[in-house]
Amino acid sequence: MKSQKSIYISINGKKLKTEEGKSILEVAQNAGIEIPSLCFHPDLEVKAVCRMCVVEIKGKRGLFTACSTKAEDGMEVMTDSLEIRRARKVNLELIFSQHREECPDCIWSFNCQLFKLAREYNVKITRFADRKTNYPLFQFGPAINFDSSKCIDCRNCVEACEKYAVGFLEIKEKGHMFQVVPAKSQKKDCIYCGQCIVHCPVGAFEAVGEFEEIEKPLKEKDKIVIFQFAPAIRSSIGEEFGLPYGKVVTGKLVAGLRALGAHKVFDVSVGADFTTTEETNEVIEKAKKQKGLSSVLCFSSCCPSWVKFVEFYYPEFIPNISTTRPPHIILGGLIKTYFAKKENIDPKKIIVVSIMPCTAKKYEIERQELKIDGLKPVDYVLTTRELAFLFIKHKIDLKKIKPEKPDSPLGVPSGAGVIYGASGGVMESALRTIYKKLTNKRLTKIDFKQVRGQEGIKKAEIEIGGKKIKVAIANGMQNAKKILEELKINPRAYNFVEVMACPGGCIGGGGQPVPANSKIRKERAAALYQIDSKKDQRVAHENPIVKKLYKDYLTDKKTIEAICHTKYSQKKKGKNKIIKN
C-alpha cells in the first residue's frame, strides 16, 4: 500500500493530524467530532445524497458535504453556523416528509438518528404532509419486510443488496419519482440475508414479525418453551444494552432467557459440533467413494441464504451442498427426539425457539423437508434484535443480570462450535475434525489462521496426512459467485467451500444489532476466537456430548438421516407479496 502523506486540518478550531485521502467526515468521526450524516455508511460508497453533513470551509464560498470532500492540508472546517443549521433543518424536514414514522415498532427505536437530529435542529417533523403514505409494504418470502413508506431514498439498501447479495432491490421511476422496489424479473429473487436491514438508516426494512410478533413464543400455553441461541449472539447482543462491542455475555444471555420464562436454554454451538461431525463423516464417505479427498467438492450448508442462492441461481451445484443440517436444526431435532424421550415429554408439546443473528433462518425453518415425524425441529426464530427488544419489554437488563449456565445434557460446546459465528469458523472446525479423523494425530497447531479474517474471499491449501486439500471461504454472494464461476471452469479448483451471505459471517448477520460496520464486526468475531482459545475442548467430534449421542442415540443410519441430513431442490421465485398499497 502506498504510504499516505500526513496532513493537518482544523475542525472548529481544533487542529487534527490525518492522512491525505481521508474525507472531512472521517477525520471528524475519528476525532469524536459529530457531524450528522444519514446516507453515509462505512461499508458502502460515498453517495452524498442526504446533504446533512454540510460544513463550511474557510476561504471557500458555500457549503460542502463532509462525506465527499477530502481533507486538505491547512484546511479550516467549521461544522456549525447559522447557514449550516438552516440547511440541515430544512433538509431534515424534507427527509421527514418522505418518512412515515412508525417509531414504537422500528429497529432504530432506541437509537434513532433521525429523531435525535430532529430535536437538535428543532425540526418541525410535520411541516410537510407525508409524501409516501400510499407507498406499499413488501414482504419477501417469510423473512423480510420492506415498508417503502419509511424509505428516505438514500439507496443504501440497493447498494448493499448489490454488494453482498443479489441485486434484488432496484430503483424504478413511477410518476416522475424514483423509488426502491423489488425486482420483477423471474430470474431474481431475495435470499433473505437482511443486509438491507442493517444498512438502512431509518428502519424501512425489518425481519418479518419484528417486533410485533416477538411475544408469540411466550404465549404458547401448556407448552414447554425451549430457547437455543446461536454462536454469534453472545458477542453482539450486549451492544443493545450499552455494553462495548465484542463483549461476551453468554451467561447473562442464558439468565435473561430463563427470566423470560424459558423452560430450558441450550447453546446452538453444541449443534454446531454435531454439524461438523456429520459433515466431515459425509465428506470422508464421499472421499472413499470417489478418488480420495482431493476429488471431493463440498459446500457448507449452514447459511440458508447461501443454500437458497445455489438452489435458485446455480442449481447445477446442488449435489455439492453438504446434506448435513445447520446446527440449530440438528439441535432442535435432538431436543424433540432424544431429549424429549429422555425427559419423557411429548415432543408435540415442545416449542423450540432459535435466537439467530439471521433473518434467513425465518425462511429456513419453514422448509418442509426438515420435519421429523411431522414436527418442525424449530418453531420460531427470533433475531438478536428481537430478543433484545423482548428483554427490554420485560425489563430484563443484560448489563445487570447475573450470568447463569446453559442446560445440560446438551449444554457445553467445543471451541470449534463457537467460532461458527465468524466467517471461516465452519471451515476451521471441519479442518480440525477431519485432520484428526484422517491422521489420528494430535493437532500440533489447532489454529487454522489462514481461514480467519474479514476478507471477502480467503483461499488456502491445507496438508492433511500428506495430501493437499484446497479450501475457499467466501462471504457475500458476489464473492461466492466468483468461486462458483471458477468452479464451473475448473471443478477441481477447490475441495471445501464455506460460504456465508453476510459480511464477516454470522457476526455481521442481517438479524444483528445496528449499527454494524467492519470495525464492529471485527470486535464481535475476535470475541468468539477468544472464547475458543480459552476452551480445553476445541475439536467438535471430541465433545463428550457428541460422543455420547453417537454411542447412545445416533447409532443407525435412519436416525442419523432423519435428524442430521436434508435434501435440496431447484427453487423457483418465492412468494413476495405486497401487503398494503
Partner 1 sequence: MNIIEKLKNSNLKGRSGSGFPTGLKWELVKNEKADKKYIICNASEGEPGNSKDGFILKKYPEILIEGIKIALATIDHSVAYIYLRKDYYQKFKKPLEKLIGKLPITLFKKQGGYLSGEETTILNVIEGKRAEPRIKPPFPTQSGLFGCPTLVNNVETFYQVAKILKGEYKNTKFYSISGDVKHPGVYELSESWDIGQILKETRNWPNFDFFVQAGGGASGEILLSSELNQPIKGIAAIIVYNLKETNPSHLMKTWAEFFLKENCDKCVPCREGVFRISEMLKAGKIDKALLDDLFFVLRETSLCPLGKSVVTPFESLLRKVYKI
Contacts with partner 1, residue ranges (CB under 8 A): 46-51, 54, 62-63, 65, 68, 70, 83, 86-87, 90-91, 94-95, 97-98, 127-128, 131, 152-153, 155, 171, 176-178
Q: 34 catalytic, yes or no?
A: no
Q: 366 catalytic, yes or no?
A: no
Candidate list 45, 83, 213, 369, residue with the active-site label? 369
Candidate list 39, 67, 157, 302, residue with the active-site label? 302
How far apart are the C-alpha atoms of 20 and 72, rounded to whole Å?
A: 7
How far apart are the C-alpha atoms of 453 and 440, rounded to whole Å?
A: 28
54-57 and 64-65 as β-strands: parallel, antiparallel, unpaired? Answer: antiparallel
CB of 22 to partner 1, least distance (A): 14
Which is closer to partner 1, CB of 83 or CB of 215? 83
Which is closer to partner 1, CB of 129 or CB of 489? 129
CB of 48 to partner 1, least distance (A): 5
CB of 97 to partner 1, least distance (A): 6
3-state secondary structure of 245: coil
CB of 63 to partner 1, least distance (A): 5
CB of 494 to partner 1, least distance (A): 32
Q: 506 catalytic, yes or no?
A: yes
Q: Where would I find the H helices in 412-556?
A: 415-418, 425-439, 477-489, 518-534, 544-552
Q: 282 catalytic, yes or no?
A: yes
Q: 173 catalytic, yes or no?
A: no
Which is closer to partner 1, CB of 52 or CB of 197? 52
Q: 361 catalytic, yes or no?
A: yes
- Show contacts of 438-441: CB within 8 Å, 24+ apart: 438/284, 438/293, 438/464, 438/465, 439/464, 439/465
Which is closer to partner 1, CB of 65 or CB of 275? 65
Candidate list 149, 305, 322, 354, residue with the active-site label? 322
CB of 33 to partner 1, least distance (A): 20
Residue 578: which residues within 8 A CB-CB, separation 6 or more?
A: 136, 137, 138, 139
Beta strand segments in 130-255, E: 137-140, 144-147, 169-174, 177-182, 205-207, 224-229
* Torsion angles phi and psi, residue 105, rounded to 5: -120, 55
How far apart are the C-alpha atoms of 86 and 36, rounded to whole Å?
A: 13
Which is closer to partner 1, CB of 90 or CB of 345? 90
Which is closer to partner 1, CB of 78 or CB of 345? 78
69 DSSP 8-state letter? S
Q: 369 catalytic, yes or no?
A: yes
How far apart are the C-alpha atoms of 414 and 546, rounded to whole Å?
A: 10
How far apart are the C-alpha atoms of 265 and 215, rounded to whole Å?
A: 17
CB of 488 to partner 1, least distance (A): 24
Candidate list 240, 282, 311, 386, residue with the active-site label? 282
C-alpha cell at 148: 417503502
Q: With beta carbons less than 8 A apart as the criterion, state whether 328 and 361 touch.
A: yes
C-alpha cell at 22: 481521508
Candidate list 206, 239, 279, 498, residue with the active-site label? 279
Candidate list 206, 278, 364, 428, residue with the active-site label? 364
Which is closer to partner 1, CB of 158 or CB of 546? 158
Q: 302 catalytic, yes or no?
A: yes
C-alpha cell at 382: 427470533
One-letter amino acid for residue 174 of the chain: K
Candidate list 206, 506, 522, 564, residue with the active-site label? 506
How far apart are the C-alpha atoms of 404 and 180, rounded to whole Å?
A: 45
Catalytic residues: 279, 282, 302, 322, 361, 364, 369, 506
